[in-house]
Structure 1
Amino acid sequence: MSVFLLPETLCISLERLMNRYWWDKSSTEKGIHWLAWDKMCVPKKYGGLGFKRLHEFNLALHGKQGWCLLTNPASLMARVFKARYFPKTSFLEAILGGCPSYVWRSVMASQMLIRGGCRRMVGDGSSTKVWLHPWLPDPQDPYVRTTPTDTTRDLWVSNLIDPVSNEWKREFIHQLFEPRDANLIIQIPANVDYEDISFWFGDTRGCYSVKEGVEDVMHVLCSCSYAKRVWDVSNLPVPPINDDDFMQWVASWLDNSAGRSCETKGKICGLLHELWKARNHAVWDGFLPTPAAVCRSFHLSWNAWKTNITTRHTTPYPQPGLTALIST
C-alpha cells in the first residue's frame, strides 16, 4: 500500500469484507450490522470505533514517500524522481508530467495532503518562494494573501532581506504587502546563517507521520489551509470550522433550526463540490486552482443551474388541443 495507489473500488471491496468479518456469525450465516461502516471509521474520541478507511490510509502511506522527496533530496529515490519529473521545482510544485509511471502517480496523489500540513521555516530565504510556499507564522493560513504583480510573482523570500544588515527590508515590505502579510513577515526572525527547511505543522518534532497524514473529509473540504482560504473568499455564512466531525459540522448549518435559507444551504453544498473538483485537479492533473478561481467556477455553475431551473418553471407547456391542431 505504500508503493502503489490502490483503486478506490478495490478499497471499498476490502472494507466490505472487513465489515462482514466483523458482524457476520460465520461464512454461511449473516449477522446484523448494528453500526454503519462510516460510523465505525469515526475516531474514537468522536464516538466511533477508529477503523481506518483504506483509501485514506493508502494516501497517508504515500504521503511518507512525498515527505521524503521534500525533506531528503539527497536520497537516491528523491534524485531519480527529481531528475525525471521536477528538475527545477520542489515536490510541492511538481506536476504529473508526460507519460508518468504509476508509482509517480501514486506519490503525486498525496501532494495535496503534504501541502495541507507542510510549513517552511525561513532561514536565509533562498529556497522559499514568497507566493508559492507556506511560510508565514499563521496556523490557519500560512500563505501570502497579497495579490502578486507580474514583476513580483517570482520573488524569493531572500529578496526581502537586506544583504548588508541581514534584516528585513521593512519599508519595501510595507509597500509591497497588505498589512496582515507585512506584520506577519516582520515577526519572523531573519536567520541568514541557516538554510530554509520544511517541517510538519502540529508535530513536536516537525516530522510527518502516517498517523498525522490520515485524511478525513473535514480536513480535505474544510480545515486544511487551502480549503479555509476558499471559504474565506466565498463569504458564505458557514459555522466556525474547527476539529469537529464533518457530519456534525454539516448538521450545524443544514438543520432547519440553524436559520439558513434553502439557497444558502444549496450554495454551501455547491462550494463543497467545487472544492472536491479542485482537489481532484491537483491529484490527477497536477494543477491546483486558486481560491478565487474555485469561487468563480462555483458562481458560474450556480447561476447556470438557477437559470435552468427558472426556465423549466416558466416555460409554458403546450395545450393538448393546440398540439393536436398543430400536428394536423
Structure 2
Amino acid sequence: MKLVIINYVLIATFNHVLFVFKVPATICDRIDSLLSRFWWKSNKDSRGLSMVSSSLLHLPKGLGGLGIRHIHSFNLALLAKQVWRLRFNPQLLASRVLKAKYPALLSSKPLISSPRPSWGCRGLLEGGRALSQGLAWKIGSGTQVSILQDYWVPNIKVEFKDCIPVEDRPLMVSDLLLHDTGIWNLSLIRQLFPVSVASVILGLERPKQHIDDFVYWKYNRDGAFLTKSAYAALVSQHISFRSVTTDSSWWKRFWGLPILPKWKMLAWKVLHNAFPTADVLALRGIPIDATCIFCHGSSEYVVHLFRECPFTSRLWNSLASTSSPLPEVPFLFSDWFTSIITSYASSKHWLALDRFFGMCWAIWITRNNVRFRSVVFSPQCILDLALEWSVRSGKAREMAACCPGIPPGFSSYPTWQVLRGEASVLWECDVLMCFDGAWDRGNYSAGAAWCFLDPVSSRCIGGGARVCMASSALHSELLACLFGLKHARQQGIVSLCLLTDCLSVPKMIQFATSDISLIWTIQEIRDVISSFSSCHIRKVSRSSIGEAHSLAGAARRRILLCFSF
C-alpha cells in the first residue's frame, strides 16, 4: 500500500511541476529522502530506521528493488517527453514560438544561444539532452545519417577496420547503398567494417521504395517515446545495478506470484537483510536485548530467526509433516529461501507456498508480539496462526481467479485471422502455405523456407528456400512469409492460407503495429497480400510446419542457397 501511495499519490501531486520545470538536484534529493523516510516509518510519530541503501528502493522491481521513483530521473524523463511532443508536432504554437526564439533548442543536439534563457527553456534543454541519448536513426535514403557520429545500428558501435585509410572512409550511410537499387553494397560493407559490424548492418531491412531517414525512440519496440522506458534508461545512469545478487528473471517471476502482497515484502526484506532484527537494532545503537526470544541461546538475526533457531526448526519439521517436504538446506540462507519459493512456484504448488509464507509471517508476528508486547506464546499458537494466514491467502487467490484477466466484452487473441477476403471456413482455400525462418545470432545469417500444401491431403506440392540476412529471429520468420507470398503470386495462386508456429507474426501482419526494425518488411507483406482474393493465417504447432523448418535450417547452414520446387 505504501508503494502505491508513494508512486501514484505523493509523486503524482507535483507531476505537473516535474513535467514543465527542471527541479534543482538538492530539492530532488530532499524529496527522495522524505519519501524514503515515509517508507520506513511504522507510525506518524516514528522517524523511521532505514535498513538498506536508498538506491535499492529506487532500483526497478525486476532487478530486486521496489521501484520507488527517483525524482531527478523522473523529472528528466517527463521533460524529455515534453521535448518529444514539441519536436515531432511542429504545428503546435509552443513549438513554433520556441523554434523562433531558440532555433537549436528542439534539434538533435539541443543548444540555447540566448545569454539569459528562461527557467522553462533551461528545463527543456535538459530534457532535450536526455531525449537525444535515446534517439536512433531508421535508415531510408541514408543521406542524413553520419556513419560514425549518429546512432543507426542497434546495440553496436560502428567502427571501420584499422587498415582503412581515413581518406577512403565514407561519411554518410548513403555511401554504403547501391544507388540503382537502394540495397546494401555487400562487398563494400564487408571491405570497410569488421565482420561483427558488417553482419549487423547487412541484417538491417531496406525499404522497397525511396524513403527519407527518420529518428525513433530506441528504448521502445515500436519506436514511440514512452516515459517508462526513458525513466528506466535514466535511472540506470544514477543507480548501480552491480549490487544485485539474485537473478533478475527470478525477481520478475517472484513479483507475479499469486500470494499476499505483504508476503512479497517479507521475502524482499529477508533476501536484502532488511529486517529490523535484534542484532541489527543493537548495532544501530538502540538499547535492546539481542538474544533470540524463542531459544534464548543465540543472537537474533535473520538466518537464525527463520531457520537455525531450534524452536523454529521444530516448527518447520511440523510444517513438513503436513505438506510437501521442504527442499534440502544449502549452505547460504538466501539460496535456501529462494529455492523453496522456486520449487513450489515452478510446480504451482500454491498450498505449500501459502504454508511456507504463512509460517514465516507467523514467526515474525509472534516475535514482535513477544518482544514488544510481552505476549505469551506456544508452538501450537504459531502453527494455528500460520494456518490462518495460509487460508487467507488461498481465499484471496480464489477471488482473483474469479475475476477475468481480460475485460468483459473482449477476448484473447485468436489463433486464426483473416488477412484478406471474407471470414469463411478456414480450409476453403486453394493452397496451404507453411513457412519458417532460421537465424544465427552470431553472424546474423538466416534461412527462409516455405512449402505449399494440398488443403485436402496436406501433401507438399511445392515450395522453396533461400539464404538471407536478418536482424532477428522474428525478421527471418517475416522474410520467409514474404518470399513465400511472392512465390505463390508468381504461381498464380489466388486463395491462400498461411501456417506459422510464431504467434507474433499474425499479430504484426494483422494490425501493422510492430517492431520499428521490421516496419518495411511488414508493409511489403501487406502489399503482397492485397494481390490475393483471400488470405488467412493460422498459428499451428512446430510439427505442422516440419518441412519448412527443415528447409530453413538447411538454408541457414548454407546447404541450400536459393531453391524452389
* TM-score normalized with structure 2 length: 0.34
Greater Cα offset, 147-156 or 9-18: 147-156
State the partner residue of 2:178: 162
Q: Summarize the Cα distance change of 1:41–1:219 in structure 2 as closer, same or farther, 3 Å threshold.
A: closer
5 Å-filtered alignment, 1:52-63, equals 52-63=69-80
Deviation at 1:71, TM superposition (A): 3.8
Deviation at 1:4, TM superposition (A): 0.9
Deviation at 1:13, TM superposition (A): 1.4
Deviation at 1:133, TM superposition (A): 1.9
Structure 2 residue runs of 5 or longer lacking an equivalent are 1-17, 246-565
**Cα deviation digits, residues 143-190 of structure 1 (max 9, x gap):** 422389876888332333333333334444445444444443333333
The amino acid of 2:205's aligned partner reads P
5 Å-filtered alignment, 1:54-203, equals 54-86=71-103, 91-99=107-115, 100-136=117-153, 138=154, 140-141=155-156, 143-146=157-160, 155-191=171-207, 192-203=209-220
The amino acid of 2:159's aligned partner reads R
Deviation at 1:12, TM superposition (A): 1.4
State the partner residue of 2:241: 245
Q: Summarize the Cα distance change of 1:182–1:42 in structure 2 as closer, same or farther, 3 Å threshold.
A: closer
Q: Summarize the Cα distance change of 1:220–1:20 in structure 2 as closer, same or farther, 3 Å threshold.
A: closer
State the partner residue of 1:32: 49
Deviation at 1:7, TM superposition (A): 0.5
Deviation at 1:216, TM superposition (A): 6.1
Q: Distance in 2 between matches of 1:42 and 1:11?
A: 16
State the partner residue of 1:276: none
How many equivalent residue pairs?
224
State the partner residue of 1:20: 37
* TM-score normalized with structure 1 length: 0.55
The amino acid of 2:26's aligned partner reads T
Q: Summarize the Cα distance change of 1:171–1:47 in structure 2 as closer, same or farther, 3 Å threshold.
A: closer
Asked if structure 2 preserves the Cα contact closer than 8 Å seen for 1:129 and 1:154, the reply is no
Deviation at 1:14, TM superposition (A): 1.6
Q: Distance in 2 between matches of 1:201 and 1:195?
A: 18
Q: Summarize the Cα distance change of 1:202–1:10 in structure 2 as closer, same or farther, 3 Å threshold.
A: closer
3-state SS of the aligned residue for 1:205?
coil
Asked if structure 2 preserves the Cα contact closer than 8 Å seen for 1:66 and 1:91, the reply is no
Q: Summarize the Cα distance change of 1:22–1:107 in structure 2 as closer, same or farther, 3 Å threshold.
A: same
Asked if structure 1 preserves the Cα contact closer than 8 Å seen for 2:159 and 2:197, the reply is yes
Asked if structure 2 preserves the Cα contact closer than 8 Å seen for 1:127 and 1:156, the reply is yes
Q: Distance in 1 between matches of 2:119 and 2:227?
A: 21
Greater fraction of residues in helix: 1
Q: Summarize the Cα distance change of 1:115–1:16 in structure 2 as closer, same or farther, 3 Å threshold.
A: same
Counterpart check, 1:50 vs 2:46: no
The amino acid of 1:144's aligned partner reads V
Deviation at 1:210, TM superposition (A): 1.1
Deviation at 1:113, TM superposition (A): 3.7
5 Å-filtered alignment, 1:248-327, equals 248=244
Deviation at 1:6, TM superposition (A): 0.4
**Cα deviation digits, residues 118-157 of structure 1 (max 9, x gap):** 3222122233232222111x3x22x422389876888332
Structure 1 residue runs of 5 or longer lacking an equivalent are 223-243, 250-328
The amino acid of 2:107's aligned partner reads F
Deviation at 1:74, TM superposition (A): 4.6
The alignment's C-alpha RMSD in Å is: 3.6
Using CA pairs under 8 Å that are at least 6 residues apart, name the structure with larger relative contact order, 1 or 2: 1
Q: Distance in 1 between matches of 2:191 and 2:241?
A: 41
Q: Which has the larger radius of gyration?
A: 2
Asked if structure 2 preserves the Cα contact closer than 8 Å seen for 1:124 and 1:190, the reply is no
Asked if structure 1 preserves the Cα contact closer than 8 Å seen for 2:64 and 2:244, the reply is no
The amino acid of 2:183's aligned partner reads E
Q: Distance in 2 between matches of 1:93 and 1:149?
A: 29
**Cα deviation digits, residues 200-255 of structure 1 (max 9, x gap):** 23423221111111146773289xxxxxxxxxxxxxxxxxxxxx923238xxxxxx
Asked if structure 1 preserves the Cα contact closer than 8 Å seen for 2:73 and 2:235, the reply is no
